[in-house]
Every structure is written in structure tokens, then in C-alpha cells.
Amino acid sequence: MVNYANAVVRPFTDVWKAIIGIILSMIPIVNIFVSGFAVRAARNSMDGNEELPEWDGFGSMFMEGLTVSIISIIYLIPTIFLSIVGLLTLFIMGSTDMKSALATGGIAMNVALLFFFAAMFILPMAIMNYVAKGSFLRAFDFVDVFKRAFSGTYIIALIVMAIYLIIAVAIAEIFPIIGILIAGYTIQVTGMTVFAEVYANR
């Protein structure tokens, strides 16, 4: 079972670690350290340890966060490519045949949207495969990733996280400055914790 309540409060179980995470999440590029911290939090969860990791080993922490970013970008390549094709089609053909441009470009954009949702569906389990196995290539072990993604527990976790994100965004809108500052750190740690528990329970 996934302990959602624990996942929500976990980012704040150590105030000083949370403050460091919130501060780092505000700074471009430096915020990659927060992703690395979240990776370590996920690995702890897989091992049955719900304590937050230490802010140390910054070199490896940065590389783990960077690896997660690269995995995410690779999964989004089809979406990016098709979006560019759609926009270029509208730009190039639009001046001569707007109807055909809208039809062709629209198809490309719609397919890009489908690829985006597909990537968002399997990406958390791809990242968890990397976290668990410690290998970049295991994020692209599609047989294992798809097997783990198509489970009731995982789909419920996705729905819960979607609701969590909606609530987080609503809070950020009410308290725009404070909410945005806190969200970058808390969403990553909570999300990684939830999906790590799903992965470990398979």
C-alpha cells in the first residue's frame, strides 16, 4: 500500500533539509540538486527508509538529478519533434494553402499531444527503474517499464498525484510567492516518494 499521507508530509519531516531544498529549487541549474535529492529520497523509500537523505555528495547528487532530466527529455523527443513539424507546416504552407496547412499541422500537433500523454504516463516508472537499478539504460527497458506502468496501483497513484498537483497549484495561486517557492521542492519529493512506493510494492 502507498502511504499518501506520509508522502505529502515527508518533505517537511526535517525542517532544515526542507529549507535547503526550497532555496536551491529557486535557482536555475542549481535546482538540479533538488532532483538529485528527490532521487535519493525515492531510493530510501524503496529500501523501506522514510528518512530524508542528507544534503551531501553534491557531485553525484547533481549527476543523478541531471540524469532524470535527460531521461525526461528523451521521452519527450517525439512530442517535441512532432510539435516542430506541426508549427513549421503551419508557417510554411499557411501563406499559400491555409486549409491544408491547418489540416496537416493539426494532425501533427494532435499526434504530438498523444505522445505527450503517453510519455507522461510511463515516465515515472521509467525514472523509478533508473533509481532502483542505478542504470541510465534501465529507464528504457520498455518491457519492464510498461509492465510496471499498467497496474491498478500505479494508475491510482497517477490520479492521486494529479489531484495533489491541482491542490498545490491552487495554493500557489492563493499565496503566489511562498507557494511557488515551496512547490518546486515539495512536489518532487512527494512525487518521487509515491512512485517509489508503487515501484517497491510491485
Question: What is residue 194's predicted lDDT score, i.e. its pLDDT?
Answer: 97
Mean of pLDDT values over 19-44: 95
pLDDT at 146 over 80: yes
pLDDT at 162 over 70: yes
Question: What is residue 142's predicted lDDT score, i.e. its pLDDT?
Answer: 94
pTM: 0.90
Can you say how many angstroms the Cα of residue 127 is from the centroid of all Cα atoms in its chain?
A: 8
pLDDT in tens, 84-120: 887 887 777 655 666 666 667 778 888 899 999 999 9
Question: What is residue 93's predicted lDDT score, i.e. its pLDDT?
Answer: 65
Contacts of range 54-60, beta carbons closer than 8 Å, 24 or more positions apart? 54/17, 55/17, 55/20, 58/33, 60/36
